[in-house]
Amino acid sequence: MAIEKEGLSTAESLRKTRTYGKFRCHNPTCMERIQPEKGKKTAKCPTCGMEYRVHWVNPNLPRIRGPVWDVNRKLAEAKLKEMGVK
Amino acid sequence: MPLDRKIAYIDLTTGDIQIKPIPLDVRKKFLGGRGLDAYLLYNHTEKGCDPLSPKNTLMISGGILTATCASATARTHVMAKSPLTGLLGSANMGGFFAPEMAWAGFHHLVIKGKAKHPVYIYIHNGEIEIRDARDIWGKSITDSQWALREDLGDQEVKSLVCGPAGENLVRFANVMTGIKNAGGRSGMGCVMGSKNLKAVSVRGTMDIKIARPKEALEYNKRFIDQIVSAKVNQTQGALGTPFIWGATNSWGGIRCRNFQYNQCEYADDIEPERIDEICEETMGPYHMTGCFGCQVHCRAQYKIPEGPYAGVYDEGPEYTSQGAFGGETDTPRAVTVLTGNHLVDKFGMDNLETGSLISWAMELYELGIITSKETDGLDLRFGNDDAVIEMIDRICYRKGWLGDTLADGGIPASEKIGKNSFDYLIQVKGMSNLHSDERATPGLALNIATGSRGSDHLRSRPAIDLYHLPEEVLRKIYGNPVPYDGPLSSEHTEYIGKPWQVFWQENCYMGVDCLGICKYHTTFLGATLPNFEDWSKVILYNTGLEMTPEEIWDVAVRCNMIERLFNLREGLTREDLKKGDMLNHRYFDEPCRRGAIDVVGKKIDKEKFIKMVDEFYEHKGLDKNGVPTPERLKKLGLDKEPSHLM
C-alpha cells in the first residue's frame, strides 16, 4: 500500500512534543510547567506563586480544576492596589 | 461517490423543486459545506433584502466528506442573511442530520420563498416533497422530531427543526437536530420561522461509493489515533466541553456580571468536574455520547437534579451554557445552568445570545437604566437564579416589555431602551460575544472583532496560542501549507504575530467547515491535530478529488473572501460599532479586575489593536477600509462575482 510508505504529516510529527503528567501555570507571563504529585489535589507554581486545585482526568493526565480561590483573590487585589486601580 | 450528491433548489412560495448536480469546477473552487453555501448566499440573495422576507435564501448543507470513511463528518451547516445582524448568518451543528441527508442523495439545499402555512420538507432517496406541518407547529424541539417520525412512520428519520423561538421570530432562534445539536448563532431558526418552514426531515439508504476504500480506512485509522491520543480530546471525552469554560475561568478569561469581571469566583458548583458528578449521579458511569463517526464523545447526558424541572433529561451542557447561565449572570449554580440549558434546547434558542442579553439587562437594571417598570416587577439583579430562568421563557414567548424587546436582539433592544444602554452591550456586528473576555488576549480580541458572522470564537480563534507552544512548534503549524517567516508569538498577552495566527486559523476553520468535519478534530484546541496536509489525503482517498494542501488553503481563503464580499454588500464598514470590525469601548477602557496575577489590570491597547487589524487586512488582501483589492479578487477568481454558476 502506498499509504504505508508515506511519512508522518506535520500534525503527526508534532505528537512527540506532547507532555504527560504536567500542566502549565495559568498565569500568562509565567506558564511554568508544573508536575503535580500523582493523585494530589492541589499544586503551587514555584515561579509565580499561583495555587491551583487539581483534577486527574486519568492517572497520567492532571488538569487545573481552578485556582485556590482565596489565594487568587488576594493576589488579584494586591495587584490592583499596586496598579492604583479602584 | 460523494461527489455525485446533488443540490436541490426549493421554492416554498410556488412549491417548485429543482434537483441538479454540483459541477466539479464549483467543487474545486468551494468544496462544499459552509464555503459553497457562502457562494450560494452571495449569488442567490438580493442586496439589502429583509432577512425575514421570502427573498432571503436559506442554505442547508453537509461537507464534501460527509458520511464517508473520514472521521467525525457529522456537521450540518446552515446559512442565510441574519435577522440578528443584517449581515452573514451562519451556524454549524453536530449530530446525525447531514450524513442522513447525504445518504438521501443531497449535499446542499437552497430554500427560497415562504409557504402559505407551516410546512416541512421531506427528503428520501433522491425524492423531495413539501408536507403539511400545521399539526407540528408550536411543538418543542424534541416533540417536533418525534411527531415528524410518527407522521412519516419511520423511527430513523432525522429532522432539522426550529422550535417555538423560531416560530415567534426571536432573532437568535436556533435550528436544531436531536435534543441539543444546535446551529445556534445568528438566528437561522428565525429565518425558518419566517418562511413557515418547521422542519427538514431526511431519510436515506443510498450508498456512498468511496474512491479508494482501503486507503481511506487506513488513513482514517491514523487520523483517529492522532485524535484520541491528544490530551485535549481525552479530557473532552471525560468532561465534555465544560472543561473549556473551567480552564478559561481559572486564569480570568470569561465574562462575569456582563463585563464587570473577567472571572466567576467560587464557581466550584459549575466547574466541569461537578457537572460530571451530576451526570454520573443521574445517568450512570457511561453518560458521555457522541455525534456521527466521532471517537471523542464530548457530549454529556444528564437529568436535572432538583428544582421545578427535576428529573428532566437533556444533553450537554456545553461550555457556552456554563457561561451564559452561570458566569455572565453570576449565578454559578449547577441546577441553574442545567435548567437554562434545557430550556434553550427545548425552545430552540441560542444560549450564548440569550445569556448575554440577560446579563446585559441585569447590568442595566442595577445601573437604573431599566427599572422594575420595564421588567414587569422582576428583580433582575445579578445572582438571581429565578430571574435568569424566567427571562429565558419570556424571551422565547416574547412575554412582557423586556422579553419582547430582548427577543429582537441587542442592537434593536438598545435603540428601544435608549439612554446609554448601548455602551454596555458586549457585541460585534450585532451578535453578542461568547461568554469569554478577551481583554488579556489581543489575538482572541482580533478574532472576535473580525469574525465574519459577528463576535465569534468559531471562525478564527487562535486558541492554541494559550498553550505557550515553543516557537519551533508554532512555525511548523503556522508555516504550512503556505510559507510564512514573519513574527509569531506564543505569549497570549502579546500583539506581535497575532494577525497571521488569526488569518491562518480563519482559513483552517473554513477548511474544516467545507469538509463537514468537527472542529475538535483540527487545530482548534489541539496543536497536534490534523489540518490541510492531512485533509488533502482524506479528500483524495474518499472522493477521488486531487487537491494539494495549498489548493485547500486557497479554497478557504476564497470562501472567507466571499463571506467578506457579502458583508460589505450588506453594509459592513471597518470601524462601525454596529456593523464593523470593532470592539466595545470597554475592551479599551476598563482593566481586568480578577484572574491570574498577570491578567489583572490588562486591557486592549487601542492603537496596537488598530495596527493588528491593518496587518490582518493585509494578509487577507484587503485595503485599509477592509475592502478587497482588485488584484486579490482576481487571484482568487472572485473578480466576476456574482457569477451565477449555480
A-proximal residues of B, 427-466, CB under 8 Å: 440
Per-residue three-class SS string for B93-118: ECCCHHHHHHHCCEEEEEEECCCCCC
One-letter amino acid of B455 = S
- Among B254, B492, B535, B597, most A C-beta atoms within 10 A, so best to mutate, is B597
CA distance B132 to B118: 6
pLDDT of residue A4: 46
Calculate how close chain A gets to B594, using CA atoms only, in Å. 6
Q: How far is CA B424 from CA A8, B105, B496, in A?
A: 49, 48, 29
Report the distance separating Cα B148 and Cα B169, nearest Å.
22
Please give the C-alpha separations between residue B596 and each of A77, A83, B38, B541, in angstroms, as whole numbers.
Answer: 11, 15, 40, 47
Nearest CA in chain B to A20: B231
Output phi, psi for B510, to 5 deg: -65, -40
Does B309 touch chain A if contact means CB atoms closer than 8 Å? no
Q: What is the mean pLDDT of residues B298-316?
A: 97
d(CA B233, CA B238): 8
Cβ A26–B250 below 8 Å, yes or no?
yes
Peptide linkage before B481 cis (omega within 30 of 0) = yes
The pLDDT tens digits of the residues spanning B551-569 come to: 999 999 999 999 999 999 9
A14, A19, A58: which to substitute to probe chain B, counting the most B Cβ within 10 Å?
A14
pLDDT band at residue B309, thresholds of 50, 70 and 90? very high
pLDDT at A19: 87
Residue with cell 432539522: B160
Are B596 and A58 inside 8 Å of each other by CB?
no
Q: Does B271 touch chain A (CB under 8 A)?
A: yes
pLDDT (tens digit per residue) in B585-617: 999 999 999 999 999 999 999 999 999 999 999
Structure confidence at residue B374 as a pLDDT band (50, 70, 90) = very high
Distance CA B83, CA B410 (A): 12
CA distance A79 to A62: 28
Between chains, do B234 and A61 touch, taking CB under 8 Å as contact? yes
What digits encode the pLDDT tens for the residues B212-263?
Answer: 999 999 999 999 999 999 999 999 999 999 999 999 999 999 999 999 999 9
Q: For residues B625 and B583, give the distance between their C-alpha atoms in angstroms, rounded to a whole number.
A: 16
Interfacial residues of A (vs B; Cβ cutoff 8 Å): 1-4, 6, 9-15, 17-18, 20, 24, 26-31, 48-50, 52, 55, 57-58, 61, 63-67, 69, 72-73, 75-76, 79-80, 83, 85
User: B418 touching A, CB under 8 A?
Assistant: no
Complex ipTM tops 0.90: yes
Question: Which tens digits make up the pLDDT trace of B100-145?
Answer: 999 999 999 999 999 999 999 999 999 999 999 999 999 999 999 9
Look at A14 and B473 and tell me if their CB atoms are within 8 Å.
yes
Give the model's pLDDT for residue A2. Answer: 44
* pLDDT band at B319; cut points 50, 70, 90: very high
Q: Is B493 on the interface with A (CB under 8 A)?
A: yes
- Residue in chain B closest to A32 (alpha carbons) equals B468
Has residue B428 got a pLDDT over 90? yes
User: What is the Cα–Cα distance from B76 to B181, expressed in whole angstroms?
Assistant: 10
What is the residue-averaged pLDDT of chain B?
Answer: 97
Residue B31: which of B551, B480, B643 has the closest Cα?
B551
- In this predicted structure, what is the pLDDT of residue B1? 74
Q: Please, which residues bridge with residue B349 across strands? A: B173
Where residue A85 falls among pLDDT bands split at 50, 70, 90? confident
Q: Is A72 in Cβ contact with B265 (below 8 Å)?
A: yes
B chain contacts of residue A61, beta-carbon cutoff 8 Å: 231, 234-235
- Residue B472: φ, ψ to 5°: -65, -35
Residue % of chain B over a pLDDT of 70: 100
Q: What is the pLDDT of residues A41-80, one digit of tens each?
A: 999 999 999 999 999 999 999 999 999 999 999 999 999 9
| Average pLDDT along chain A | 90
Whole-number Å distance between alpha carbons of B587 and B602: 9
Consecutive H or E run containing B151: helix B141-152
Instruction: Kindly determine whether residue A57 and residue B234, on different chains, have CB atoms separated by under 8 Å.
Output: yes
pLDDT at B449 over 90: yes
Contacts of B641 (CB under 8 A, 6+ apart): B42, B43, B562, B565, B633
- List of chain A residues whose C-beta atoms are within 8 Å of the C-beta of residue B546: none
The number of residues making up chain B comes to 646
Q: Structural domains in chain B?
A: 2-203 (3.60.9.10), 242-432 (1.10.569.10), 442-635 (1.10.599.10)
Q: Which residues of A touch B215 (CB under 8 A)?
A: 1-3
pLDDT number for residue A61: 95
Nearest-CB residue to B528 (from A14, A63, A76): A14
pLDDT of residue A7: 86
pLDDT of residue A1: 40
